[in-house]
Amino acid sequence: MRDVAIIGSAQTKFGKLGKSNTELFCDASLAAMEDANVSQKDIEALFVGNVLGGFEEGQINIGGHLVGALHLGNIPATRFEGACCSGTVAFRDAFMWVASGFYDIVLVGGMERAMIMGTPFSTRTFAMANDCKYEGTTGITFPGVFAMVARRYSKIYDIPLDKLREKMAHVSMKNHKHGALNPHAQFYQKMGNLKVEDVLNSTVVCDPLTLMDCCPFSDGGAAVVLASADIARRYTDEPIYVLGVGQGSLGHMGAQADITKPASRVFSARSAFKQAGLGPKDVDVVEIHDCFTSAEIVASEAMGFFDWGKGADAVESGQTDIGGRPVINSSGGLMGKGHPIGATGVAQVHAIVEQLKGKAPNGNQVNPVPEIGMTDTLGGGFNTIAHTILGRSRR
């Protein structure tokens, strides 16, 4: 397989946007193509992550319509659905097509407009990513999943739940601080100075999770242009290289040995590290799927950044904020930046690209400029998980 580079990336503003899925994808894609200095004729294939377009707009089979809207001729387009991991699944597949030599330049992105559905219907449709037979019939939603994760974590590591909630609050405080500094974030210039009690005293969603332990529903789009590394510098002076990718799968939660240690995430992260020839200690900055505060903590452990049971202490002590290592969710993460589920994985990639180019928003840039970054994206109850590792230098 040959090396692959990101030659352009972009995202829309996240939040309640009032635009169609096609418009969101096109806005991000045109900006990414401009960043890459490519035109429509250079794009050989399109890969898109979108989860709920059929419910949001009554639109399926959207790939071809995106090709038409972007005036990309008759190139192939493929839509990917892996719940909230859809964008990263699309990215991984696009990477493999270019790495194989089949294509030289492709466009990959994602979009979602969940806000049009409202909270009750969004909650119901998101929950379809759980197992419909064993989990859906119990009425479980994702706040319920990660409330159980928090309770299990408290029990197995003998951390009183009240104390664990205080540690979890630091995830929300950190990520909202960075989201408030990110002009593309849903909560830009909002909630940048949260305190522990603000998180603990917000509305209970699913005990022990409060509203400030949860990421929002969002609209938004993100896109990147991938190219063979051999031609990348024809288009940009700052290619960012894809060093490794991983993907893992797992069945329903009742069949999982321990939901605080999802085997799918361990498998996927290790696959990405193996391909990159790197380990957790080599990573400077990470975008982790912080759909809930407990989610970021258990992900940081499963990826190997902290020992089991130590992730909560790490975030409370500031080890995952700028000045520590690894820096987690300097973009604001899902919690501060927003979570348009089809776009999230690609937006995470864009955030790492910005960091590795030294172009992250003022106050969020890690210095010195990081060499290695990583993304982690989760779909369902740990059913689909994927990772990317990016670097400033080729392998």
Q: What is the pLDDT of residue 110?
A: 98
Domain residues for the domain of 225 are: 4-118+217-234
Report yes or no on 212 lying in a domain.
no
Give the model's confidence band at 395: pLDDT under 50 very low, under 70 low, under 90 confident, else very high: confident
Average pLDDT over residues 200-211: 98
| Residue 215: active-site member | no
Q: What's the domain count of the chain?
A: 1
Report yes or no on 29 lying in a domain.
yes
Percent of the chain at pLDDT above 70? 100
Does residue 305 have a pLDDT over 90? yes
Give me the catalytic one of 84, 206, 214, 215. 84
Give the model's confidence band at 313: pLDDT under 50 very low, under 70 low, under 90 confident, else very high: very high
Q: What is the pLDDT of residue 28?
A: 98
Residue-wise pLDDT for 120-145, tens only, equals 999 989 999 999 988 888 888 999 99
Average pLDDT over residues 239-253: 96
Residue-wise pLDDT for 270-302, tens only, equals 999 999 999 999 999 999 999 999 999 999 999
Q: What is the pLDDT of residue 198?
A: 98
Residue-wise pLDDT for 99-114, tens only, equals 999 999 999 999 999 9
Rounded-to-10 torsion of CA 167, 168, 169, 171: 110
Give the model's confidence band at 318: pLDDT under 50 very low, under 70 low, under 90 confident, else very high: very high
Report yes or no on 97 lying in a domain.
yes
Report yes or no on 23 lying in a domain.
yes
Report yes or no on 378 lying in a domain.
no
Residue-wise pLDDT for 132-181, tens only, equals 988 888 888 999 999 999 999 999 999 999 999 999 999 999 999 999 99
Give me the catalytic one of 170, 184, 339, 350. 339
Average pLDDT over residues 24-53: 98
Report yes or no on 183 lying in a domain.
no
Report yes or no on 336 lying in a domain.
no
| Residue 339: active-site member | yes
Give the model's confidence band at 203: pLDDT under 50 very low, under 70 low, under 90 confident, else very high: very high
Report yes or no on 274 lying in a domain.
no
Evaluate if pTM is beyond 0.85. Answer: yes
55 and 125 in contact (C-beta within 8 Å)?
yes
Does residue 75 have a pLDDT over 90? yes
Find the CATH number of the domain harbouring 59. Answer: 3.40.47.10
